[in-house]
């Protein structure tokens, strides 16, 4: 049963509900937030599974109230945000499996939710963007629910960035990045290669993956890995748009949303999703 929530920072006309769904472990559940606009432009509508950031070690879906409710309102679609388990208490693959359970739940409940199962995208910011990319790979490899599009907001894609000594950034530093990756992978970086689906950029074959939009700033710690990831996707024949903003740091859209460049950044992100789910 869906339970209505009353929380702030929600776009006008959007209702937010909470639901607990079955997890990979039979005895566990995963909490999800469901953002539903008052008017959906087309029924059944498309949907977005959103995965919050937090370096794989912190965060909760409520921190995405603004972006999730805005996307729901602007596009007239359902947005589902997943409260996945966090490292180090729950290292890989716990959090990713929770996201996969949410993707399956959307598809299995598409009729009840009035969702077109062929128009389901995955997306997220920072660590959530990296998890979204891994989720698209996992779904493809398992022959699981189809993913229409990847919406990746300055995604955390490559553990090898944390091994660089010539590279750092403000807000999300390489020190923090190293801690997040080691907590998630359960070992010190450089000791062993991560398992399949743990690190999106470690994939060897990108062919057949869903198209993607990647947005990142030029002074973001993840700038180089995002550019490389986009190149890998394109080289494999996957449509991937890279939208980079000069002088943008990690999370600048949240700290300075009124800046013209940040308003444009968000508009470009939402436009890409609108086109993908049309």
Q: Please give the positions annotated as active site.
A: 126, 220, 250
Find where tokens 């689906």 sit: 197
> In the sheet that 212-217 helps form, which strands lie side by side, from edge to edge?
3-4, 14-22, 29-37, 78-83, 45-51, 115-125, 149-153, 212-217, 240-245
Asked if the bond preceding 93 is cis, omega within 30° of 0, the reply is yes
Beta bridge partner(s), residue 84: none
36: its two tokens:
């539903």
Tell me which residue of 4, 74, 80 sits closest to 274, measured CA to CA. 74
Instruction: Identify whether the C-beta of residue 44 lies closer than 8 Å to the C-beta of residue 110.
Output: yes
CA end-to-end distance (rounded Å), the chain: 30
The CA radius of gyration of the chain, in Å to the nearest whole number, is 17
Find where tokens 């000069």 sit: 246
DSSP run (H or E) holding 104 = helix 94-108
For the chain, give me the number of helices (H) and strands (E)? 8, 9
Instruction: Provide the pairing of β-strand 29-37 with 14-22.
Output: antiparallel
CB within 8 A of 231, min separation 6: which ones?
A: none
Q: What span, in angstroms and rounded, lies between the C-alpha atoms of 103 and 139? A: 9
Torsion 259-174-201-186 (CA) sign: negative
């Amino acid at each position: 049963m869906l339970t209505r929530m009353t929380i702030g920072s929600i776009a006008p006309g959007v209702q937010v509900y909470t639901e607990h769904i079955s997890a990979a472990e039979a005895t566990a559940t995963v909490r999800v937030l469901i953002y539903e606009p008052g008017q959906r432009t087309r029924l059944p509508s498309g949907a977005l599974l959103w995965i919050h950031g937090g370096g794989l070690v912190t965060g909760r879906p409520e921190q995405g109230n603004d972006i999730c409710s805005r996307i729901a309102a602007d596009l007239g679609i359902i947005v589902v945000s997943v409260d996945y388990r966090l490292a180090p208490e729950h290292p890989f693959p716990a959090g990713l499996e929770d996201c996969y359970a949410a993707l399956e739940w959307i598809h299995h409940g598409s009729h009840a939710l009035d969702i077109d199962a062929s128009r389901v995208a995955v997306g997220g910011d920072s660590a959530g963007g990296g998890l979204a990319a891994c989720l698209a790979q996992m779904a493809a490899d398992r022959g699981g629910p189809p993913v229409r599009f990847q919406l990746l907001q300055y995604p955390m894609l490559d553990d090898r960035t944390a091994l660089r000594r010539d590279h750092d950034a403000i807000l999300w530093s390489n020190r923090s990045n190293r801690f997040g990756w080691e907590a998630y992978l359960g070992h010190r970086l450089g000791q062993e290669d991560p398992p399949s689906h743990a690190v999106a950029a470690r994939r060897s074959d990108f062919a057949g993956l869903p198209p993607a939009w990647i947005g990142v700033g030029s002074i973001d710690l993840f700038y180089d890995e995002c550019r490389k990831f986009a190149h890998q996707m394109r080289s494999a024949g996957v449509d991937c748009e890279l939208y980079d903003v000069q002088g943008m740091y990690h999370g600048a859209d949240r700290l300075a949303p009124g800046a013209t460049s940040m308003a444009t950044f968000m508009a470009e992100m939402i436009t890409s999703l609108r086109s993908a789910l049309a």
